[in-house]
Chain A
């Protein structure tokens, strides 16, 4: 004769007693309503600080990089022109056979 499984009476006696949330139904309906009515403006308002912070950082960094590249381009242009100018008057820079007018 087998011994009865103690698990069955234990499971039979077990009861789930959740705490009652009087606002549960209302909060579900509210969440559904929010999802349905969200537009881009409300999204931005909801994430205003993060969006503004990210935009400010990107604008500052990109502006600074653009500025540095612009300065480098100016230096390159100036250097190229100074060399072209000197090349027009420095006989040492002329390849063999080339005259001043070439």
Chain B
């Protein structure tokens, strides 16, 4: 009988532990942020993370839309340069030519990086000063740390 009561007591303590663990996790985890992450909803993240009003979000949306054309130009220029570099590598071009083309790729990426930094600053200016600074502190280092040796994908290296 005592052994049975021991296991019942242990079961109750384990259940209490499970509830406590779940409660601790739920309190610390932001459910709205998590929902946005599951959908990769960057706009929802912006609103939640920086406490944006509808007006601020609308203006930022407009800014992003206006930046699209410039972004497309940078995209096309970088892709062209990378394509040329790939062709040169495939054709076994001289090292000097390759170095020259790599410099072209890098230069266009730098132009893009400068443009992005400028765009981020414009977006930050639409937020409150404190949130704008947080925005820049978070995103500018990610832009600067981009590793140009890696193939481009959605995940920036750390």
Contact = CB atoms under 8 A, between A and B. Distances in A.
Q: By DSSP majority rule, is chain A's interface helix, strand, loop, or mixed?
A: helix
Interface residues of B, number: 60
B152 A70 contact: no
Given A68-B28, A80-B37, A89-B67, A54 B13 contact: yes
A40 B64 CA distance: 66
Interface residues of A, number: 48
Nearest to A85: B42
Interface string A30-73: 00000100101001100100010011001111111111111101
Contacts of A91: 71-72, 74-75, 78, 112
B111 to A, nearest CB: 10
Nearest to A59: B20
A47 B138 CA distance: 53
Given A62-B21, A74-B33, A85-B45, A44 B143 contact: no
Given A77-B36, A86-B142, 4 more contacts: A66-B25, A74-B28, A81-B33, A81-B49
Interface of A: 35, 38, 40, 43-44, 47, 51, 54-55, 58-71, 73-74, 76-78, 80-97, 99-100
